[in-house]
Structure 1
Amino acid sequence: MATIDRIREIRRTLHENPELGGEEWATSTLIQEELQKAGISFKTGFAKTGVLGVIEGGSKGGTVALRADIDALPILEKTAIDFKSKVDGKMHACGHDAHTSMLLGTAFKLQEMKDQLSGRVLLIFQPNEETSPIGGARPMMEDGLFDEFQPDVIFGQHVWPDLPVGQIGVRDKEMMGASDTLSFTITGAGGHASMPHQGKDAIVIAAEFISSLQSIVSRNVNPLESAVITIGTINGGYRYNVIADQVVLKGTVRTYSKKAKETVKRRLENLVKGFEIAYEVEIDFDYVDGYGATINTPKWAELVRGSAAQLYGDDALPVLDPSMAGEDFSRFLEKVPGAFYWLGCSKEDVEQPKPLHDPEFFFEEAALEIGVETMTKVTVNALNILKK
């Protein structure tokens, strides 16, 4: 069976049997079995279910690391594909099944040509990507992922439905945003709806507070930088005729630069203090740092760009904007130079493909071969640069 057929088979098996972060035991076992069949040595025990494969080239050189995330999401799949999830409430709605199978496909190709390689390739199968702020990258490194072999460069790819199959998206610096979480508990005083002067209406205060949050971005962050503050949930109140004594708000902050993040954080703290004084309420504020911004190293982003152009021509490299979505790969890039790039995975004629994390997200399998070819080319070219 041709390599790409096997990769497609692996991808479908993973898609039918999704496992959430921290539960990827069967996925990890499948990865180990495939590496063993290919004669690739590996180690386990990183962040529980993580796997590190190692391919030694025929001569000395640098070390290139490649990463794929392996966890699924708590989403009920609503696609009509024959191999849809067999597990209610769990789905590979972010393409991690494809990432895993494509890294295995890349590993098979590199193993076949290992005598021609100068250096070493690390194959990182990472759990828990979807569980911010903990994630899986940092726990894997804390468990000694790079203790024996320190990579000179690291690469990762992510399927991207905003791009059609055949397109490769990469930027020299910002690719994806920092993703932090917020929570505010506004505690006022309850009372009868007909006598608002006797209470401190947490709902009214919350409404004004949410509006004020948006002025932090519009009037404090440099317009040439990017920042987003979103409140995703509001919970409070008891009954239509009762003044709410407490409201809980939860949301997220997205930024690229550390400066913008610190500005937002400082202004949030000041806004909370101001509302507490102005409305005579208590506001419990919690800001949790999540994944950092995914910032590519220009040198290695250019290598990805050049590798894709060699395979598919310059037309395969669209000019694109970064995304504010968060990505655990950022923690690898904080330790090792490298690049993260997007792999087009939608059909050319689909006007509005379903986005990542959607119950109807669809991955066009024609992208599998392109993903394997691109990652293989990137690896070989990087090793050639490192040996000079």
Structure 2
Amino acid sequence: MVDPLLLDGEPVAGAELLPDGVGDLVEGGEGAHGWKDRRVSTPSRDLVRRAPKALLHDHLDGGLRPQTIIELAADCGHELPAGTEGDAEALGRWFAEAADSGSLVRYLETFDHTVAVMQTEAALTRVAKECVLDLDDDGVVYAEVRYAPEQHVEAGLSFDDVVAAVQAGFDAGVAETGGRIVVRQLLTAMRHQARSREVAELAVAWRDRGVAGFDIAGAEAGFPPTRHLDAFEYLQRENFHFTIHAGEAFGLPSIWEALQWCGADRLGHGVRIIDDITVGDDGSVTLGRLAAYVRDKRIPLEMCPASNVQTGAADSIAEHPIRLLTELRFRVTVNTDNRLMSGTSMTDEMWSLVQAFGYRLEDLRWFTINAMKSSFLPFDERLRIIDSIIKPGYAALGAR
């Protein structure tokens, strides 16, 4: 049976498909999609925390627990900028302040410290396991977690060692949750380096053992995705999935190259697609050719609101393009990016949208189903999680 509020997982634009009593579709009505439900109020933060969530854009090296960093730094002799007396709260504050400083240099410095303590198999396995446990505690039922293997070989590990260690941690975490969460790896290549083909081959080699896709990350300006065409062409020949960080710090050319030259399945962030959308003084909206293509092709946008505010891609949550993109029915998903640096979680991200835009459980379900539909899992597995976990989970919380 088709969910009466969702057609292919997205809001329906016809009142005849709404169940009796749910509400009226009204011009400029309430809610993210212009429909008003008189019986469902704005959810509490606790309700948001309990709702099932799907996460597509989360960096393993951006989500460590401060206490874990302190302990791993002591093991490997790495000097930390704070928390030297074992004060995890002080270290956590340092990460948050550095990320909020407005200085790209200070923001990037935070990763120097997390990556430095992730150079052994034991450290990688611990971090990966704790990642799973933290996501599960946050109500995440599906996650794709990304990292760059090339950043974890300073102590002599091979690429294969790195992936195996992370997978061991994910497996241990999933087992400890009793299988409540499904987690997959995304292997990232750094766009300013020249190892993308090697990482792409590594991802394909692990495709049936926990790796679901490939990514490139790093500075967009000066390092276009077309520098890595050989990796993307290889992945396409192997029928493998990949996403590309694009449209975060750089504009439309980065998005255009990621899609039209490289063939990305999803856009990491993609927030700058707003630059190709014009809102007239009368409220009319005009989509440029690229924005129209992204919407028409249902290309998923891996949006990370808190991170975007920190990096200047948006001035505030209230002014984040996610609202307009959602109203225009782009394939919007909500993500964390770097949970430690942004001091965030999936609950925090969704709760901030509820507070800023008055989103309801139905809107959060829409974001969640968008993400699950856009995941790199096989279709039948995506469908199982949507039908047996996400929809029943929201229904149990009162979503209509």
Tell me if TM exceeds 0.5.
no
> Greater RCO between the two (CA within 8 Å, min separation 6)?
1
Q: Which has the larger radius of gyration?
A: 1
Normalized per residue, the structure richer in strand is 1
Between Structure 1 and Structure 2, which shows a larger proportion of helix residues? Answer: 2
**TM-score normalized by the length of structure 1:** 0.28
